[in-house]
Structure 1
Amino acid sequence: MQNSKDIDNISNQLRELKKNIDRSQEYLSALEMLMVDDNNGRLKDADLAHEFKTLTNSIASVSKNIEVLEKKLYN
């Protein structure tokens, strides 16, 4: 990309997106704590845990994709 104004605008949007991803990861950590049984440290619902893991992996994937976009933007 050649236009520095466009690069700056895209960079700003990616930065905001990363902030939201970070917040989402914080929420997921809180949810994970709620899903663990206090008595024995196991997950309360295996099916729910599987879906939760899928969501966690998806958000991690989005985060990695943002990093790839940033690298491509500046190269």
Structure 2
Amino acid sequence: MDNIQDKSNITSQLNELERNVDKSKEYLSALEMLMVDDNNGRLKDTGLSNELQQLNNAISSISKNIQTLKNKIDT
């Protein structure tokens, strides 16, 4: 991409997306903590915990993709 303004605008949007993804990770961590029983440290619902893990994996994948896009724009 040759247009500096386009690069700047896209990078800005990717940075905003990255901040939102980071916020989503915080919410997901809070959900994971709620899934653990305070008394014995066991999961309250294994099935739901597995779904949360899949969501966590998807969010991590999005983060990696954002970083890849940012790297391509910088080169």
> What is the TM-score when the length of structure 1 is the normalising length?
0.98
Runs (4 or more) in structure 1 with deviation over 3 Å come to none
Taking the aligned partners of 2:61 and 2:7, their CA distance within structure 1 comes to 23
Structure 2 unaligned segments of length 5 or more: list them.
Answer: none
Number of residue-to-residue matches in the alignment:
75
After superposition, where does 1:1-75 map in structure 2 within 5 Å? 1-75=1-75
1: distance between equivalents of 2:14 and 2:42?
36
- The code of the aligned residue for 2:34 comes to L
Displacement of 1:28: 0.5
Give 1:22 shift.
Answer: 0.6
TM-score, scaled to structure 2: 0.98
Q: Identity percentage over the alignment? A: 59
Structure 1: tracts of 5 or more residues without a match: none
